[in-house]
Structure 1
């Protein structure tokens, strides 16, 4: 495995490839994303440990979308079987993915715990769905401080886990090393990831303006339920497109193994796709 250093403009290429790949199989990828989110939501309902289980599933859900995007790029239809890809590639990689999930849950919950030291757990309760976000809560100074601290701490956590599922699954890297390599790859390619983030921010803003205009028109026509449906649907599609683009960041940051194992199936290698290295 070798780390690639890519130019900053590659970040916009990743955004474009994610959008383009999504629209090759929009219904399939949107449905797969919805099913991953539904599974995490159901897991969160388990008493006491539900939120931790849901958090632990995120690396596997990310990997599933990466594999689905790779399948789409290679002209194959991504079936619901990709949702279980993290759990059907051998006991060692299953243990590694479960370890990744546990580490992510611990990291995220630690951030929530640190934020609770500032506002007594108000932000954590709102974020995890235990408390509704009201205006007086949002305007609370301690709540805002806890929110900004959480955002600041979540960035390195996100970068550390960004490539880790792919490194474990496609390269067989142990979890702790995968976390280290993921962080190094993101830091070394900071320019590309900055452009990538700004590019998606621009996409979200443009889509938000368009949805706001359409929703306003529908509300004026008395079609409130349709306006709500459009907002929710657009949010789901944008999130699915974003997750679809992750595989391209992984593919361009790491060279594939020279000799893939004969035991690996066709979904074991991320799809080649045009884009600078």
Structure 2
């Protein structure tokens, strides 16, 4: 496995491929994403360790959605079991994925504890405060600092689940390789982010125009959340392509699929 440097324009290709692949299996890909969100929400409601468990499944769920994208690319209908692909790859890989999940949960909780100490505790908005509460300088500063802290965490864990699952890299090394790969392909990831920002912005404009034509604010309120979740599912479909193009299997030309097939062949002579 070696790092592959791609041109900045590849970022837009990742966006296009994510949308195209999602549209090949829209029901399956959106259903799997909603299933993951539902599982995380249910876990977060559990007492004591619920939130930690919800955070720990993020790397494994990310890998599951990437595996679902592979299935869609092959023209197959991804089944719900694909979401637990990370836990069907042998004890060593499962243990590594659990360690990765623990590290991710620890990083997120550390950010949650550190941000209030730096910017001051932000009081929870009143139920009727709505949009006004989110426009306060304190709230905006809190969100900005949180995003700045989460950015390096995101880079560390972006490729890590796939590196652990498909290439057998140890959790700590996978974090290092993921961070380096994201930095070396910073131009492509910048275009990737800008491309998805444009897609989300365009969807927001369309909703606003339709709502204005209908003269119904209720339509906009009812349409926003489902469409945001649908767009998030589409975005998650594109993550696989960022990994596929950022690394080259050894020997050159092998893909994550072929590497996995080779491993299965070795395990089952």
Both proteins in one fold, TM over 0.5: yes
User: How does 1:162-201 map onto structure 2 within 5 Å?
Assistant: 162-201=158-197
Deviation of residue 134 (structure 1)?
4.1
Q: CA deviation at 1:137?
A: 3.9
Residue matched to 1:161:
157
Partner of 1:102: 102
Distance in 1, Cα, partners of 2:150 & 2:197: 17
User: Aligned partners of 1:81 and 1:186: how far apart in 2?
Assistant: 29
Task: Give unpaired runs (5+ residues) of structure 1.
Answer: 266-277
- State the match for 1:260 in structure 2: 259
Give the whole-Å Cα distance in 1 for the aligned partners of 2:224 and 2:140: 26
Q: Which residue in the other structure is 2:254 paired with?
A: none
* Length-normalised TM-score, structure 1: 0.86
Change (3 A) 1:158 1:194: same
Give matches, 1:52-201, under 5 Å. 52-122=52-122, 134-135=130-131, 137-201=133-197
User: Is 2:209 the partner of 1:213?
Assistant: yes
* Deviation by residue 1:178-220 (Cα, 9 ceiling, x = unmatched): 00000000000000000000000000100111112223344x2
The 3-state SS of whatever aligns with 2:248 is: coil
Offset at 1:70? 1.0
- Equivalent residue, structure 1, for 2:49: 49
Residue segments in structure 2 that go unaligned for 5+ positions in a row: 252-257
How far 1:133 moved relative to its partner?
6.8
**CA separation in 2, counterparts of 1:58 and 1:122?**
26
Shift of 1:221: 5.5
Shift of 1:57: 1.1
Q: How many residues align?
A: 258
Equivalent residue number for residue 272 of structure 1: none
Aligned residue for 1:274?
none
Measured after TM superposition, the shift of residue 102 of structure 1 is 0.8
Name the CA distance, whole Å, in 2 between partners of 1:37 and 1:160: 22
CA distance in 2, matches of 1:19, 1:139: 32
Structure 1 9/221 Cα, relative in aligned 2: closer, same or farther at 3 Å? closer
Q: What's the counterpart of residue 227 of structure 2? A: 234
Higher helix share: 2
Distance of 2:132 and 2:231 partners within structure 1: 30
> Does the aligned pair in 1 maintain the 2:166–2:259 contact within 8 Å?
no
Asked whether the 8 Å contact 1:96–1:175 carries over to 2, the reply is yes
* Inter-partner Cα distance in structure 2 for 1:59 and 1:121: 29
Identify if the C-alpha distance between structure 1 residues 233 and 140 changes in structure 2 by more than 3 Å, giving closer, same or farther: closer
Q: Residues 94-131 of structure 1: CA distance to partner in whole angstroms, max 9, x if unpaired?
A: 111111111111111111111110344437x68xxx99
Deviation, 1:140, is 4.1
- Return the offset for 1:138: 2.9
Aligned partners of 1:168 and 1:174 also within 8 Å: yes
1:61-101: per-residue Cα shift (whole Å, max 9, x none)?
Answer: 11111111111111111111101111111111111111111
